[in-house]
Amino acid sequence: MNKIKALTLSFAIAGLSACTVVPGGHVNDIDRNDAENAFDISEKINAMLVTPEVINALRSEASSAKINGDLDAQVNDYSYIIGHGDVLNITVWDHPELTIPAGQFRSAGESGNVVHADGSIFYPYIGKVKVAGLSVTKVRDLVTERLSRYIEKPQIDVSVAAFRSQRTFVTGEVKQPAVLPITNVPMTLLDALNTTGGLGPNADWRSVVLTSSTETGSKEEILDLYALYQKGDMSQNRLLSHNDIIHVPRNDALKVFVMGDVEQPVTQRIDREGLTLAEALNNTGGMNESTADASGIFVLRASTQTDKLVDVYQLDASNGAALILSTQFELQPMDIVYVTSAPISRWNRVMLQLVPTFTAIRNLSDGIDRFQD
């Protein structure tokens, strides 16, 4: 019977090593040797402690107030280009017979010269004039040159009475999505968003998409309006042109994940004001004071370095004063915040898992003893 008892205990211990120590579901392991040879993740980790120097380095990488010399030059050199559908108003001074009066109930747009589908207008004496693709000043020079054959030293003024040929689109999470006309006043991205009433409450400020048409096709840019509005980074502003599309997405993807030994692990959104590590921990109810390891607060972030997979930042808050650093550490979308448990807590959890098995073994042993008796 002692052999039976020993054999039973052996089976129980084998079951303990196979099942009890590793709780939860089970998936068959792959060949670890092959996996480790194919992908050594330790070489892909960039680990660092959260210190004032690290926080300052991260801040220096963030956007700050900048000027945009290219944009300033484009605005200064801007000239509206006439297109199909525009309406021109041509005035020849001292020759009222050549100027169509607007009348009491007619606007300048209704009484002006419409640019037809072939890009031309018709004007007395000079007939059809190709104006599409020209600026107002060039049209004025062209009409003046041709009228000079019939009128001595004509004085001519040309203006656009109605802008109908060019437009830009503002869509997504803005207060008033709209189609905005391109006019003789240069319109920037900032102007367009202000015209539509600004961003909505669920807008993703950091991932605004500007789609522009180029000679080779369409081009997409991701622009950071948080940097533009909050930091004054004018490098995020653009001069808009015909058929540009501004799309402001929702902030559904602006998430961080708080896991580990906290009171309530949750997924949190980053609002327009940003989210610090301290705020993320506080929103979960804080660390579990009885079991968490204050020296093991980690932030895992996808690395921007091509030879690294993840950047790991560790905050050692075992000295409570170091928690002030968490108020200065700005989280980014898809960051993972993980709070580890203290070693004694992990040991206690293992023991809690072992107690039922030890109890079952003892009961089995007692049953065998009674059977032998």
Residue 156's identity, in one-letter code, is: I
Separation between Cα atoms, residue 299 and residue 223, nearest integer Å: 25
The pairing of beta strand 255-260 with beta strand 336-341: parallel
Per-residue pLDDT at 102:
52
Separation between Cα atoms, residue 274 and residue 279, nearest integer Å: 10
38-62+254-345 and 69-77+166-251, same CATH topology: yes
Separation between Cα atoms, residue 165 and residue 181, nearest integer Å: 8
Per-residue pLDDT at 208:
95
CATH superfamily of 69-77+166-251: Outer membrane lipoprotein wza domain like (3.10.560.10)
Per-residue pLDDT at 353:
60
Separation between Cα atoms, residue 143 and residue 264, nearest integer Å: 75
Per-residue pLDDT at 108:
52
Per-residue pLDDT at 14:
47
Those residues whose C-beta lies under 8 Å from the C-beta of residue 211, and which sit 6 or more positions away, are 218, 219, 220, 244, 245, 247
Separation between Cα atoms, residue 96 and residue 256, nearest integer Å: 69
Q: How would DSSP label each residue in 297-358? A: EEEEEE-SSTT-SEEEEEE--SSGGGGGGGGT-B--TT-EEEEEEPHHHHHHHHHHHHHHHH
Q: Which CATH number fits domain 38-62+254-345: 3.10.560.10, 3.40.640.10, 3.40.630.30, 3.50.50.60?
A: 3.10.560.10
As given in the structure block, the two tokens for residue 308 are 């690294």
CA angle 116-120-124, nearest 5°?
A: 110
Per-residue pLDDT at 290:
81
Domain edges within the chain: 38-62+254-345, 69-77+166-251, 87-162
| Long-range Cβ contacts of 354-362 (<8 Å, 24+ apart) | 354/16, 354/20, 354/21, 356/20, 357/12, 357/15, 357/16, 357/20, 360/12, 361/9, 361/12, 361/13
Q: Which CATH number fits domain 87-162: 3.20.20.105, 3.30.1950.10, 2.60.120.20, 1.10.730.10?
A: 3.30.1950.10
Per-residue pLDDT at 7:
38
Backbone angles phi, psi at 60, to 5 degrees: -65, -25
Full pLDDT tens readout for the chain, 373 residues = 444 444 344 444 444 444 444 454 445 555 555 555 555 677 888 888 999 998 888 887 666 678 899 999 999 999 999 999 999 998 888 877 676 655 444 555 566 889 999 999 999 889 999 999 999 999 999 999 999 998 888 899 999 999 999 999 999 999 999 999 999 999 999 999 999 999 998 899 889 999 998 888 899 999 999 889 888 889 999 999 999 999 999 988 889 999 988 999 999 988 878 899 999 999 999 888 888 888 889 999 998 888 888 999 999 988 888 889 999 999 998 999 999 887 655 555 555 565 566 566 666 666 666 666 5
Per-residue pLDDT at 362:
61
Q: How many helices (H) and strands (E) does the chain have?
A: 10, 16
